[in-house]
Structure 1
Amino acid sequence: MTAAWIYTLIPAAITVLGAAVAVKLRPGPVLVSAIQHFAAGVVFAAAAGEIMPDVMHGGSLTATLLGGFLGIAVMLGIRQMERVVKGPSGLLTMVGADIFIDGLVLGIGFAAGAKAGLLLTVALSLEVLFLGLAVTTELSETVKNRARILLIVAGMALLMPLGALVSAPIAALPDVYVTGFLSFGLIALLYLVTEELLVEAHEVPDKPWVTAMFFVGFLLLMSLEEMMA
């Protein structure tokens, strides 16, 4: 699980790098939508190809259901908070919660195996890149100091390694508990794809090549998985 903490530094660094670019060159809505589609495809492929098989063959229906329903409750709780907390503070709170849970999921992924953890690192790096762009765009409207924006984004990015550290004891638990945590992580990833990335991606009119980016991302991660087999 030490590897999980180290690998979370990659998406954290990508988040800050994306923010550094965004404060100077704000991406247009079509490009942002394309990134969201691509990230959704990659995350979906990681969830379906790596996490779901481990859950299905975990040997415990009870652990699968308990972990899954806990994931549903947590995700719906975050969604409700998004409706209550508004403005930049609300965005920072929600994105911070997302990044922390991403760290948890990445740590859980490494508990399933090194390959699953590596593929999730790729998938979640793209996802948090978008989150960094979203936060930077929002803060740029009210905060004019670029250095301050980057510090805020960097502070939020550190929540991912923190999440991985919190999940570190999972690898030492019996398999039945690992299955439950993997089920939780699977629900979190599916929620991320269906209720966040794709929903926000469709806020702008779709173009065929933008929609195709979902499948490009999906196929890219599947190909990477085949090469690592």
Structure 2
Amino acid sequence: MTSLLPKVLTYAAFPAVAIVVGSLIAAIREPGAGLRSGVQHFAAGTVFSVLAVELLPDLMHRRMPWPTLIGFSLGVALMLTLKWIGDRAEKAEGERSTRGLVTAMGVDVGLDGTLIGLSFAAGAKQGLLLTVGLVLELLFLGVSCATSLRSAGRARSVIIRTTAMLVVALLVGAAAGAILLSSVTPVYVDAMLAFGVAALLYLVTEELLVEAHEEIETPVQTAMFFLGFILLFIIDMLI
């Protein structure tokens, strides 16, 4: 654990900085809908590339179907539960309240950090590639968080404090993932990796792409998904 934890936290520092940068961008000038859609498509493509090229083949090579099934099922169940809780909180609190939104973002960021830690179950290269994909996703999340708080009339100090909390959640999640990875047997590692695959699939299909399709999109924005996929694919081939 002592050797893995510093490496994981170093990798997690990059998406943590991306959250801060995204928040600063929104504080200066909110990106347009077209730019947001393009970034979301690109981020979805990069994350999907890591899944298709690295994480899923690694699970296949491990050949542990039952731990994989259990871990994957638990990942799906958790993501659907979080969606249900978030939807209920949003309906209960009304449009102007941001507490439910910030809580959901905090859980999402903490889970992303945990996935960075767990991705090292497949190797350092996989951890690096997943971190690259999550940098873009968390950059957009920082933009979304600051924009939502500004729209609700929150003070700048609240935005800064919330951004700091998201960064802490990411780093704590990454540390937790590294500790779990260093403390369990290979069977549990396989289950945790399958759990991470389910969470990332949900991130791509039910968050990034759904939000990217909320606005009318152009062929260029759609092409960003495939650009993100092939770029990370080529990077993987060159590493």
Q: When the two structures are superposed, what TM-score results if normalisation uses the length of structure 1?
A: 0.96
Q: 2:68 aligns with which of 64, 67, 75?
A: 64
Q: 2:210 aligns with which of 199, 214, 221?
A: 199
> Is residue 22–residue 141 contact of structure 2 (8 Å, CA) maintained in 1?
no
Name the structure 1 match of 2:225. Answer: 214
Q: 1:183 aligns with which of 194, 206, 212?
A: 194
- Structure 1 residue 145 displacement after superposition: 3.1
Which amino acid in the other structure matches residue 35 of structure 1?
Answer: V
Query: Residues of 2 paired with 1:181 and 1:169: CA distance?
Result: 9
- Structure 1 residue 6 displacement after superposition: 1.9
Name the structure 1 match of 2:173. Answer: 163
Name the structure 2 match of 1:10. Answer: 14
CA-atom RMSD in angstroms: 1.2
Query: Residues of 1 paired with 2:168 and 2:98: CA distance?
Result: 19
Alignment partner of 1:41 is 2:35: no
Name the structure 2 match of 1:129. Answer: 139
Name the structure 2 match of 1:153. Answer: 163
Which amino acid in the other structure matches residue 138 of structure 2?
Answer: V
Which 4+ residue blocks in structure 1 deviate beyond 6 angstroms?
A: none
Query: Residues of 1 paired with 2:99 and 2:231: CA distance?
Result: 35
- Structure 1 residue 53 displacement after superposition: 1.1
> Is residue 99–residue 159 contact of structure 1 (8 Å, CA) maintained in 2?
yes
Unaligned 5+ segments in structure 2 are 91-96
Does the residue aligned with 1:111 lie in a helix, a strand or coil?
Answer: coil
Q: 1:20 aligns with which of 20, 24, 37?
A: 24
- Structure 1 residue 41 displacement after superposition: 0.4
Unaligned 5+ segments in structure 1 are none
> Is residue 15–residue 154 contact of structure 1 (8 Å, CA) maintained in 2?
no
Does the residue aligned with 2:121 lie in a helix, a strand or coil?
Answer: helix
> Is residue 40–residue 208 contact of structure 2 (8 Å, CA) maintained in 1?
yes
Which amino acid in the other structure matches residue 57 of structure 2?
Answer: P
> Is residue 171–residue 178 contact of structure 1 (8 Å, CA) maintained in 2?
no
Q: When the two structures are superposed, what TM-score results if normalisation uses the length of structure 2?
A: 0.92
Query: Residues of 2 paired with 1:220 and 1:147: CA distance?
Result: 38
Does the residue aligned with 1:23 lie in a helix, a strand or coil?
Answer: helix
Query: Residues of 2 paired with 1:21 and 1:147: CA distance?
Result: 16
> Is residue 113–residue 170 contact of structure 2 (8 Å, CA) maintained in 1?
yes
Does the residue aligned with 1:165 lie in a helix, a strand or coil?
Answer: helix
Which amino acid in the other structure matches residue 112 of structure 1?
Answer: A
Query: Residues of 1 paired with 2:233 and 2:219: CA distance?
Result: 22
Query: Residues of 2 paired with 1:169 and 1:38: CA distance?
Result: 30
- Structure 1 residue 144 displacement after superposition: 4.9
Moved more, 173-182 or 205-214: 173-182
* CA deviation profile, 1:78-111 (whole Å, cap 9, x unmatched): 1101210114111111111111110111100012
> Is residue 98–residue 149 contact of structure 2 (8 Å, CA) maintained in 1?
yes
Does the residue aligned with 1:34 lie in a helix, a strand or coil?
Answer: helix
> Is residue 8–residue 121 contact of structure 1 (8 Å, CA) maintained in 2?
yes
Name the structure 1 match of 2:185. Answer: 174
> Is residue 5–residue 164 contact of structure 1 (8 Å, CA) maintained in 2?
yes
Identity of aligned residues (%): 43
Query: Residues of 2 paired with 1:46 and 1:193: CA distance?
Result: 11
> Is residue 12–residue 154 contact of structure 1 (8 Å, CA) maintained in 2?
no
Alignment partner of 1:113 is 2:117: no
Which amino acid in the other structure matches residue 111 of structure 1?
Answer: A
